[in-house]
Amino acid sequence: MPDVIVVGGGVIGCATAYYLAREGASVTLLERGELAGEASGAAAGLLAALSDEGGNRGAAFQALCLDSLSLYGSLLPELDATGVDVRYRHGGVLHVALDDAEARHLRHRFEAQRALAPNNRWLDSAGIAREEPLVSANATAGLLSPDEHYLDPQRLTLALAEAARRHSATVLTETPVTALVRHRDRLAGVRTLTGALPADHVVLAGGPWTSRLAARLGAHVPVYPVRGQMLSLKGPTPQLGHVIWGAHAYLVPREDGQTYVGATVEDVGYRRRNTNAALTHLRRAAAALVPSLASAPLLRAWSGLRPATPDALPIMGLLPGWQNAWVATGHFRNGILLAPISGQLLAQSILSGSDHPTLGPFSPNRFAE
């Protein structure tokens, strides 16, 4: 079995390390800071294979989302053995329309997804009130998607890393990669502050920083950061039973009594700080969906830098011109959802020596110059 180095300790890197180690590869995962220290730890944890996608990015991506959601069914029992509770919840997603235009858009989505989501239900205002009495009386229509769920993304990342360790992987935090060691069209390994580490394969899974890593190899990987700001409110009481999804915000109930409110989409480079304007917008959007949140205490605010790409699709596979350099990035708002399928397909590709056919539409070759 090969020696594989995975660079990046977010959810994609940890999932890749886990699936490789489970198959018997000798894996070392290197994270420059802490596990889940960037976008993975800042995410809401939605497993929204239909709600966040809507079929807008093509059939291949929609299938990838649904396949990954299905894969959680086998992954979660395996993660239970780590002792890390990922707080998986089966509440479903309730989309809410607050005016006629939003209702028309929601109805279009409902009709378009009938074949993919036969369990989805269309709700009138009375139906919304029965499902979620705290939702605004201004809600004119709703779409209930019962087969979408959510979990704690930071705990998921930690559980994947621990599961990889249990299959003999080495996980090193506070270990930045200072150089990629090249030998013709192959990587011989990487260099860190403490020395060189040899490898048969290297996976670059550094989120929006992957472009900088790939540039060291002369490869063009056009991933860039998009800031997402979120906040947490106390309440409401009683707690919401579903994720509430509106046109301008979504609300995620947490088991500790918090409600997460997200999220902005801002192309501002690598600036991570929160802004008053964005937090005000999120608070107003939350109150429009659930009026009792208007006076809810603000518990905290945070942000993360999502890895985005020009065509809004992930970049996964063998780097053009290289025999053993792989990339896994660009998952944007869907990294938590897509972690299982991404890790599994990359592991299968590395162990077979060529890209899995499913990765074709997501290959870095589409950006080769």
The confidence score (pLDDT) of residue 56 equals 77
Tell me whether residue 7 is in a domain.
yes
Task: Judge if 234 and 300 occupy the same domain.
Answer: yes
Same structural domain, 161 and 120: no
Residue 88 lies in a domain: no
pLDDT at 110: 95
Residue 190 region by backbone torsions, left for phi larger than 0, else alpha for psi between -120 and 50, else beta: beta
For residue 369, what pLDDT is reported?
Answer: 62
24 within domain boundaries: yes
Answer yes or no: is 168 within a domain. yes
Both 97 and 181 in a single domain? no
Residues 228 and 196 placed together within one structural domain of the fold: no
Domain count, the chain: 2
Q: What is the pLDDT of residue 127?
A: 98
Q: Which domain covers residue 352, as residue numbers? A: 3-82+152-223+310-367
CATH of the domain at 233: 3.30.9.10
- Position 87 in a domain: no
Could you tell me if 116 and 158 lie in one domain?
A: no
pLDDT at res. 1: 78
pLDDT of residue 52: 76
Which domain CATH number covers 169?
3.50.50.60
Q: Which of 281, 308, 335 is the last residue of a domain?
A: 308
The residues of the chain scoring below 70 in pLDDT are 53-55, 369
Q: Are residues 38 and 129 in the same domain?
A: no
Residues 325 and 270 in one domain: no
> Do 297 and 270 share a structural domain?
yes
| 345 in a structural domain | yes
Do 231 and 300 belong to one domain? yes
If asked whether residues 17 and 157 sit together in one domain, one would say yes
Residue 27: the pLDDT is: 99
pLDDT in tens, 182-239: 999 999 999 999 999 999 999 999 999 999 999 999 999 999 999 999 999 998 888 9
Tens digits of residue pLDDT in 5-25: 999 999 999 999 999 999 999
Whether residue 73 sits in one domain with residue 13: yes
Same domain, 292 and 167: no
> Minimal CA–CA distance to 157: which of 333, 28, 37, 315?
37
